[in-house]
Amino acid sequence: MNLDLMLDDLQELVVCESFSADHEALARSAALVADQGFRRLGARPETIVIDGVPHVRWTFGTPRVLLVGHHDTVWPMGTLREHPWSLVDGVARGPGVFDMKTGLVQMFHALASLPSPEGVCVLITGDEEVGSTTSRALIEESARGCAATFVLEASADGGTLKTARKGTSDYRVIVHGRAAHAGLEPWNGANAGIELAHQILTLSAMGEGETTVTPTVLSGGTTVNTVPALAQVSVDVRVPSIAEQDRIDQLIRALAPRLSGTRLEVTGGPNRPPLEEVSSARLFELACGIAKDLGMEPLRGVAVGGASDGNFTAGVGCPTLDGLGAVGGGAHAPHEHVVVAEIPDRTRLLAGLISSVLREPTGGVRVPLEEASAPQESPVLTGEDGR
């Protein structure tokens, strides 16, 4: 691997800001990603624009391996002035360098190192950090029929691969009450705030084991001397399995008011299904063997609470291994950084994984959909491990 060339490519991507909410910036970023991929792979991609968000995809023959990444970042335009690209003492810094522009560079160079990209699909989306609302169907379509998906999101601590991710659900519980003067006749009101307090306590008691149900953003009331007629809370749910996602969904939809004169409205639902270890086990074992052959340190795997687009690929039954991207830290934080010395070996590891899967008999191993099936509702969520 030519590390100097890889770092040139990385700098090019990092200095092209690509804030998820800025469609013009995303268009510039997508064009740059397409050009860089063309230089490395010798083929032009298709650029798919959905609701103003550009996604870039290369398809070589009939795909059996899907490589997934994203080019959007959480960093607002102008962040480069405060956190510029730098390469000092073997550490690269800059907005998006860890999450996940290094992963894109590794993806292109790994594929370019192979005799042929035949049998591979590369999908780089533009809205992962805001929940993949326009790209979900594209991700799932690209994953169906593949024997493996490799997700180039950044690694966990110390280069650890992500062998499981919790599924995510997002709800809003809205309480409708009845307004009244808080001093003159509060008894004629139905206090939505008090009812919401009851519901928050009920919600917070639903989590058990690895499942978390967390009330987050609260609002309610209008003036200090008015009984609140409306109050609401957002709810973040993380689950290790489809069964748990279904259990929590049923409980939240079955919520009932405690106070006379109030009623409840529940919106939202499951978004990302869990990436369960059954989906990654074979690929992780394969990665461990390749790493050993390359003389790398033994690989470790970990289950994480954050979600990625790998949840979607696993959800349609495609074996998925995540966290194959950069080694470093500070995702979504000012100290975001990448350990440069790790880039070549991580790229060789990915190349080895692609080659190994492509050499397998046609069909590969798929995860039964009853073990990994995607829920249908898709509320807006925000992305990756920051979620």
Residue positions annotated with a catalytic role: 72, 128
Give CA angle at 140 (347, 95), nearest 5°: 45
Distances (CA, A) of 92 to 18, 162, 211: 18, 22, 36
Region of 231 on the Ramachandran plot (φ > 0 left; ψ -120 to 50 alpha; else beta): beta
What Rg value do the Cα atoms of the chain yield, rounded? Answer: 23
Name the residue among 186, 184, 172, 178 with its Cα closest to residue 228. Answer: 178
- Asked if residues 150 and 66 have their Cβ atoms less than 8 Å apart, the reply is yes
**∠236-238-243 over CA atoms, to 5°?**
125
Q: How would you classify the pairing of strands 320-321 and 167-176?
A: unpaired
At 378 the three-state DSSP class reads coil
